[in-house]
């Protein structure tokens, strides 16, 4: 049986790849990494830029990304304190795949929305 093009079976539970994929399959994590791709940002700047994220979720997500080795957190002893978040080299290698995904979303969102409307129209007809 063909287990796909991957050495590990991504469909298996407990597959390490799936755990990593799990983290990437996070709306805010993806958006934050995209935002940081252009350069380091401070906490509240990030909060303002990525609209709709709450301070709590921002904090939690950044901590996860830091734990995964995708983001560094640097504290500058100014008054008041300044904290800067930046992508690690590891995260830089992730940039292209993620941007490929957003490019797909950009160029196909109209097709998706058309499909949704057609689907909803069909559902409403019944």
Q: Kindly give the pairing relationship between strand 82-87 and strand 71-76.
A: antiparallel
The reply on whether position 101 binds its own copies by CB under 8 A is yes
- Answer whether the bond into residue 4 is a cis peptide, omega within 30°: no
Through-space distance between the first and last CA atoms of the chain, rounded to whole angstroms: 42
Name the DSSP letter for residue 8: S
Task: Report what 13 binds from DNA, its own copies, none; CB cut-off 5-8 Å by kind.
Answer: its own copies
Give the angle 119-120-124 at the CA atoms, nearest 5°.
120
Q: How far is the CB of 7 from DNA (least distance, A)?
A: 26
Task: Report what 31 binds from its own copies, DNA, none; CB cut-off 5-8 Å by kind.
Answer: its own copies
What string marks each residue from 57 to 96 as x (binds DNA by CB under 7 A) or -?
x-xx-xx---------x------xxxxxx-----------
What string marks each residue from 35 to 74 as x (binds its own copies by CB under 8 A) or -?
x--x----------xxxx-------------xxxxx----
The answer to whether 84 touches 49, Cβ cutoff 8 Å, is no
The reply on whether position 55 binds DNA by CB under 7 A is yes
């Amino acid at each position: 049986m063909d287990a796909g093009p991957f050495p590990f079976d991504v469909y298996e539970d407990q597959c390490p790849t799936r755990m990593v994929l799990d983290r990437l399959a996070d709306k805010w994590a993806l958006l934050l990494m995209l935002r940081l791709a252009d350069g380091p940002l401070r906490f509240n700047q990030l909060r303002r830029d990525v609209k709709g994220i709450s301070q709590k979720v921002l904090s939690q997500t950044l901590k996860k990304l830091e734990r995964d080795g995708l983001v560094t957190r640097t504290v500058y002893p100014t008054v008041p304190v300044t904290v800067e978040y930046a992508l690690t080299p590891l995260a830089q290698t992730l940039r292209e795949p993620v941007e490929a995904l957003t490019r797909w979303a950009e160029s196909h969102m109209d097709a998706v929305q058309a499909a949704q409307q057609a689907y909803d129209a069909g559902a409403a007809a019944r």
